[in-house]
């Protein structure tokens, strides 16, 4: 693949600090071969994730990219195995949506030694050496948590007791959304998080956890803060089955802005959802093409996300793409 040559030149020109830049591969010599990209996805835990997978698959098909997709089934070891198999297949670039933040350095080093650029997508990683990946493309999860908490501070109407449904433990999305919300809430001492448990970003688990919380705390629960819409939608089912009205008896604040949740905001069953745009396909492949052509790219690229509540949800619905 010609682009690999340009990437190698970029390495030699030290545009990127990258080791193992001298390798030439069959793909590098074949100008007609399609770009080969390996994509290590977290799994299929939510509607957001499905939209994210579809975005990368559809855009790859549009561009004639040979996308090698691996579903990590919510296990980091599966993702690491997938990355190793992409290295063995000598792909031109690797995209990882990391399930958890830590534990990536060894496999990132293997990719670097094989001269394969890695893009970290959606969730960030904690690494000793940021040169192990070429770019991060995602949302600012801390900002999302802050937006949710600030909305609540302005609209709680005297309600103060919060239960939190956390995302996958160890994920950047859960860690940052949790911290941002706690930091913002700390400025409003009237609020109290009375319970906080993981629902793993899954609708069924959101429902189960909410059922248990309703049993434990009963009428004390006044607000649900869910780290994603799937868990919020599961919680709503539990609340309705308990004979309460979500959005009124219990305020629901959530993150993702999938179409079903924006509809629930328009219907008054969710009070607010903060967008987390999953449609990374075009940006991911633009970035890979730039990297392989030896062009510099920004190290960290963040989406601009919006917030939907009763004031704008209905108007936004027709143009929601996920
Ligand atoms: O990492 C992004 C999060 O992962 C989304 O908010 C959630 O729905 C998904 O599963």
CA distance 268 to 261: 10
Q: Which residues contact 106 (CB under 8 A, 6 or more apart)?
A: none
Whether the predicted pLDDT of 49 surpasses 50: yes
For the sheet with 118-122, list strands across it.
66-71, 36-41, 93-96, 118-122, 135-138, 300-302
Each residue's pLDDT tens digit, 9-29: 344 433 343 333 433 444 455
Average pLDDT, the chain: 92
Whether the predicted pLDDT of 4 surpasses 70: no
Return the pLDDT at 141.
98
Residues 131 and 148 in one domain: no
314: in domain:
no
CA distance 233 to 36: 37
Return the pLDDT at 32.
77
Return the pLDDT at 30.
67
Of all atoms in ligand 1, which is nearest to the CA of residue 97?
1
Across 148-176, average pLDDT: 98
* DSSP-assigned beta bridge partners for residue 250: 246
Residues 194 and 272 in one domain: yes
Across 148-170, average pLDDT: 98
CA distance 320 to 273: 13
Q: Which has the higher per-residue pLDDT, 81 or 27?
A: 81
- Cβ(45) – ligand 1 distance below 6 Å: yes
Residues 75 and 86 in one domain: yes
The total number of structural domains that make up the chain: 2
| Tokens matching residue 199 | 């629902």
Query: What separation in Å is there between the alpha carbon of 205 and the centre of ligand 1?
Result: 14
316: in domain:
no
Domain containing residue 51: CATH number: 3.40.50.2300
Burial 49-88 (b: 16+ CB within 10 A, else e): bebbbebbbebbeebebebbebbbebebebbbebbeebbe
Residues 149 and 89 in one domain: no
Whether the predicted pLDDT of 288 surpasses 80: yes
Q: Where residue 78 falls among pLDDT bands split at 50, 70, 90? A: very high
Query: What separation in Å is there between the alpha carbon of 128 and the centre of ligand 1?
Result: 25
Residues 99 and 21 in one domain: yes
* DSSP-assigned beta bridge partners for residue 38: 68, 94
- Cβ(49) – ligand 1 distance below 6 Å: yes
| Tokens matching residue 191 | 């609020």
- Cβ(101) – ligand 1 distance below 6 Å: no
- Cβ(46) – ligand 1 distance below 6 Å: yes
Q: Where residue 270 falls among pLDDT bands split at 50, 70, 90? A: very high
Across 176-204, average pLDDT: 98
- Cβ(287) – ligand 1 distance below 6 Å: no
- Cβ(100) – ligand 1 distance below 6 Å: no
Each residue's pLDDT tens digit, 237-254: 999 999 999 999 999 999
pTM, to two decimals: 0.92
Whether the predicted pLDDT of 6 surpasses 80: no
Residues 152 and 110 in one domain: no
Closest CA to 280 of 68, 50, 122: 122
106: in domain:
yes
- Ligand 1 pocket, mutate which of 40, 142, 256 (most atoms under 8 A from CB): 256
Residues 231 and 254 in one domain: yes
Return the pLDDT at 133.
98
Across 221-231, average pLDDT: 98
- Ligand 1 pocket, mutate which of 205, 278, 280, 305 (most atoms under 8 A from CB): 278
**Poorest-pLDDT segment among 24-28, 90-94, 298-302:** 24-28
322: in domain:
no
- Is the separation of the CB atoms in 25 and 90 below 8 Å? yes
Q: Which has the higher per-residue pLDDT, 4 or 313?
A: 313
- Cβ(92) – ligand 1 distance below 6 Å: no
3: in domain:
no
CA count, 13 A, side-chain hemisphere, 310: 10
Of all atoms in ligand 1, which is nearest to the CA of residue 122?
1
* DSSP-assigned beta bridge partners for residue 121: 137
Residues 287 and 272 in one domain: no
Across 110-116, average pLDDT: 98
Of all atoms in ligand 1, which is nearest to the CA of residue 229?
8
List the Cα angle 11/16/17 in 5-degree steps.
95
236: in domain:
yes
Q: 198 in helix, strand or coil?
A: strand
- Cβ(173) – ligand 1 distance below 6 Å: yes
Q: 205 in helix, strand or coil?
A: helix
Whether the predicted pLDDT of 151 surpasses 80: yes
**Poorest-pLDDT segment among 10-14, 58-62, 185-189:** 10-14
- Cβ(201) – ligand 1 distance below 6 Å: yes
1: in domain:
no
Closest CA to 228 of 61, 50, 96: 50
Residues 100 and 146 in one domain: no
Return the pLDDT at 316.
98
310: in domain:
no
The protein residue with its alpha carbon nearest to ligand 1, atom 3, reads: 173
Residues 152 and 82 in one domain: no
- Cβ(122) – ligand 1 distance below 6 Å: yes
Whether the predicted pLDDT of 5 surpasses 50: no
- Cβ(202) – ligand 1 distance below 6 Å: no
Residues 85 and 200 in one domain: no
**Poorest-pLDDT segment among 17-21, 180-184, 191-195:** 17-21
In the DSSP assignment, the letter for residue 166 is E
pLDDT above 70 covers a percentage of the chain that reads: 90
- Is the separation of the CB atoms in 189 and 8 below 8 Å? no
Across 64-85, average pLDDT: 98
**CA torsion 304→305→306→308, rounded to 10°?**
170
Residues 221 and 164 in one domain: yes
Query: What separation in Å is there between the alpha carbon of 140 and the centre of ligand 1?
Result: 12
Range of the domain at 192: 141-276
């Amino acid at each position: 693949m010609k682009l690999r040559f340009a990437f190698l030149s970029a390495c030699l020109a030290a545009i990127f600090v990258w080791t193992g830049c001298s390798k030439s591969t069959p793909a590098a010599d074949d100008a007609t071969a399609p770009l080969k990209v390996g994509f290590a996805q977290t799994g299929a835990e939510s509607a957001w994730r499905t939209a994210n997978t579809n975005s990368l698959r559809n855009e790859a098909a549009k561009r004639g990219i040979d996308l090698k997709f691996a579903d990590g089934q919510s296990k980091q070891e599966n993702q690491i195995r997938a990355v190793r198999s992409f290295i063995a297949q000598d792909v031109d670039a690797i995209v990882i949506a990391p399930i958890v933040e830590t534990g990536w350095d060894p496999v990132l080093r293997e990719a670097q030694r094989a001269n394969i650029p890695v893009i970290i997508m959606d969730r960030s990683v904690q690494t000793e050496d940021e040169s192990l990946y070429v770019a991060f493309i995602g949302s600012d999860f801390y900002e999302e948590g802050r937006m949710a908490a600030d909305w609540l501070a302005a609209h709680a109407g005297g309600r103060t007791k919060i239960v939190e449904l956390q995302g996958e433990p160890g994920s950047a999305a859960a860690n940052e959304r949790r911290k941002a919300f706690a930091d913002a809430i700390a400025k409003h001492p009237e609020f109290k998080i009375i319970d906080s448990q993981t629902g793993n970003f899954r609708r069924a688990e959101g429902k189960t956890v909410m059922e248990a919380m309703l049993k434990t705390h009963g009428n004390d629960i006044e607000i649900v803060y869910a780290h994603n819409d799937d868990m919020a939608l599961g919680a709503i089912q539990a609340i309705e089955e308990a004979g309460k009205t979500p959005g009124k008896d219990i305020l629901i604040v959530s993150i993702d802005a999938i179409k079903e949740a924006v509809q629930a905001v328009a219907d008054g069953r969710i009070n607010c959802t903060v967008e987390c745009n999953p449609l990374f396909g075009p940006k991911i492949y633009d970035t890979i093409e730039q990297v392989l052509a030896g062009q510099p790219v920004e190290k960290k690229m963040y989406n601009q996300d919006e917030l939907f509540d009763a004031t704008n949800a209905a108007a936004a619905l027709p143009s929601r793409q996920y």
